[in-house]
Chain A
Amino acid sequence: MLRVIVRRLLQLVVTLIALSALIFIWLRNLPGGPVDALLGERATPETRALLTKALGYDQPIHVQYGKFMQRILTGDFGNSIRTGDPVIEVIGRAFPATFELALAAMVIAVGLGIPLGYLAARWRGRSLDHLTVVGTLLGISIPIFFLGYLLKDVFTQNIHWFPPSGRVGIGLDNTNITGFFVLDGLLTREFDAAADALWHLILPALTLATIPLAVIVRMTRASVLDVLNEDYVRTAEAKGLRHRTIRKRHILRNALLPVVTTIGLQTGALLSGAVLTEKVYNWGGLGTLITDSITGSRDYPVLQALILLAAFVFVVVNLLVDLSYAFIDPRVRVR
């Protein structure tokens, strides 16, 4: 088991190094690089050369990469070209917003998805099943940014149930400790702030949850259907076991294995979706940061760090999911 973890971690490191090298080389060889972006097209060659030198872009690329890796290992990702702040701080500030959003979306997707998928499978061919199947098909066919605008229009313009955008209400004095606004509100006992943050969270989280929810429902349904046909379920029924026991010990325990993998893979959809959702709701997290660092001036240090972070999160989550298999399913011996 330990050897597996070590090997997978090594693979992860290799993947990340390869990715960082690729991104580094690509981003450096672009026309319209960061110097032009900072100075505009009309800068004199002298100022351009000066800035190129100041930013270290005049050195050979392998030297630049060497320095880059050296700094990364000490947690230094350079400074944002746009704001001049250290990249790690810029990302640190935006991270809680996205994490909070993604977590809420995942809770919705898993919390609704597994029961819905189970019920649809159990009542196969009935109206709930048909509704679920059609709903999930729609869920994966709709561009989620459009869904975001639609929800925003219905629930903030027509019915004023939710606030249209942002993370906190205007004029609300909330104390910021962790950056997770709902948690902050609870910690400081500013329950109005916590409620307000939660209120702001609901629509974006629903929007972001759409695709993972649809995928998890479909996976659960298919998986439960497979298990329902198994002999051991029939045996359990024949033995006269209670429904609840069969559901928990025989059906779900077996059917959820592929679902767990799916949940891991959906972190990717969450990271992608966060970029879109955050733009719709003006959320100000990592997704917004990505959009901002590409459109307009290209903020390469921030972009680089964000891409690496996304890859890191995605790969680590999937590694954890793979490893968790051994605990969920005693039949699996990870080799």
Chain B
Amino acid sequence: MTEPTTQAGTPAPRRKDERPGGGNLNRLGDRKKARLEELARASSGKGGVSLFRDALRRLRRNPAAIVGATIIGLFVLVAIFAPLIAPHDPVQRFDELTSKLAADNIPGPTDGFPLGSDELGRDLLSRLIYGSRQTLFVGVLATLIGLAIGVLFGAIAGAFGGWVDNILMRVTDVMLALPALLLAITLVALASRSSQWTVIMAVAIVNVPIFARLLRGSMLAQRESDHVLAARALGVKQRSIVLRHMLPNAMTAVIVQATLTLSVAIIEAASLSFLGLGDPDRDRAEWGAMLGDAGVRYFEVRPELAYYPALAIIVVALGFTLLGEAMREAIDPKNRR
């Protein structure tokens, strides 16, 4: 019953603001506008922090989030300090290992090589440790590129609406019409030969429509929300409404999605390697390539070549998924009790 009155009440002051008034009124309007904008900025900033703090507090109480964050932290630390941790050079082939290599034998743990040899007589442990770097690199870069393009698409669509939105969304429709891995396969197939970059780009592009849709959705939802209406009523420029009022609020969901995407990206890169469309550089140690290429090829000779990188991928993917889902739960207003 109260709704009609507020609806009838709001347009009146808005119209008064928009109408160009006389000189006095205008100056008064300007001062009011500046003051109101200041207030809006102050309160939106504070509100953002407390919202964020609130989410962080809930996140810290969630054991899943702690486990996920710990896994990711360890993973990043190993990647950073790989040269210090790894006992050997990851690309060096050791004579004592290569001499024992045969079609039906890949040497297991021996003195100085705790996990044994890989298929070319290199130290498996060192390659696993260095592999964290490349895996992190591929996963993060693919996610970031996908996020950047997707955010650009989504922000433009969400900000402009209308036919721009329509066209961009039809483009994402076409991309979403293909299942993820098939799209990635197609994209890799489009390059004349596969390289680390084709893998990164393929995995990135697969995620573009997801980010774009997500961002567009939450931007569109905000177009009619109170804080945007208020900013518009105050005469804030369209550009700063989009950049300062809408985008920051819409990004939370995107960041959560990015965390989840990281685990998918690592697994997808591994799948491409398995299909023979991965990084052909056999010196470069990357978990996905180690598992998808040599790991399964020598599965019957020495399954450990698959087990270790697979375990590493599973644990790290689990870490990103745990943290991502905990973040999603934390920012979900339904859970704010």
A residues sitting closer than 8 Å to B (CB atoms) are 11, 14-16, 18-19, 22-23, 26-27, 30-32, 137-138, 140-143, 145-146, 149, 153, 157, 267-269, 271-273, 275-276, 279-280, 290-291, 294-295, 298, 303, 307, 310-311, 314-315
The interface residues of chain A lying within 8 Å CB-to-CB of B190 are: 26-27, 30
Contact (Cβ within 8 A) B177 A314: yes
B residues 271-297 near A (Cβ < 8 Å) are 271, 274-277, 288, 291-292, 295-296
Closest A residue to B288 by beta carbon equals: A143
The interface residues of chain A lying within 8 Å CB-to-CB of B173 are: 11, 15
Most chain B CB atoms below 10 A, which of A145, A157, A269, A271: A145
In the assembly, what is the distance between CA of A314 and CA of B179, in Å?
8
Q: Determine whether B55 belongs to the interface, using a CB cutoff of 8 Å to chain A.
A: no
Q: How far is the CB of A12 from chain B (nearest CB, A)?
A: 9
In the assembly, what is the distance between CA of A280 and CA of B276, in Å?
13
19 example contacts (A-B, Cβ-Cβ < 8 A) are as follows A14-B170, A16-B177, A18-B170, A26-B190, A30-B190, A31-B192, A141-B318, A145-B292, A146-B306, A268-B180, A275-B275, A276-B181, A276-B274, A276-B275, A280-B296, A291-B275, A291-B276, A307-B178, A307-B186
Q: Determine whether B317 belongs to the interface, using a CB cutoff of 8 Å to chain A.
A: yes
In the assembly, what is the distance between CA of A267 and CA of B180, in Å?
11
Q: Determine whether B189 belongs to the interface, using a CB cutoff of 8 Å to chain A.
A: yes
Interface size class on chain B is: 35 or more
The interface residues of chain B lying within 8 Å CB-to-CB of A141 are: 263, 267, 313-314, 317-318, 321
Closest A residue to B263 by beta carbon equals: A141
Contact (Cβ within 8 A) A272 B179: yes
Q: Determine whether B25 belongs to the interface, using a CB cutoff of 8 Å to chain A.
A: no
In the assembly, what is the distance between CA of A26 and CA of B205, in Å?
15
Contact (Cβ within 8 A) A137 B178: no
For the complex of A and B, the 4 pairs showing the least CB-CB separation, nearest first, are A272-B181, A268-B179, A141-B317, A31-B192
Give B292-320 as 1s and 0s: 1 = Cβ < 8 Å from A's Cβ atoms. Answer: 10011001100100100010011001100
In the assembly, what is the distance between CA of A184 and CA of B310, in Å?
38
Q: Determine whether B193 belongs to the interface, using a CB cutoff of 8 Å to chain A.
A: yes
The interface residues of chain A lying within 8 Å CB-to-CB of B193 are: 32
Contact (Cβ within 8 A) B277 A295: yes
The interface residues of chain A lying within 8 Å CB-to-CB of B179 are: 267-269, 271-272, 310, 314
In the assembly, what is the distance between CA of A295 and CA of B276, in Å?
7
Q: Determine whether B78 belongs to the interface, using a CB cutoff of 8 Å to chain A.
A: no
Q: Determine whether B128 belongs to the interface, using a CB cutoff of 8 Å to chain A.
A: no
Q: How far is the CB of A148 from chain B (nearest CB, A)?
A: 9
The interface residues of chain A lying within 8 Å CB-to-CB of B322 are: 137
Given A143-B271, A279-B274, does the pair A272, B182 have CB atoms closer than 8 Å? yes
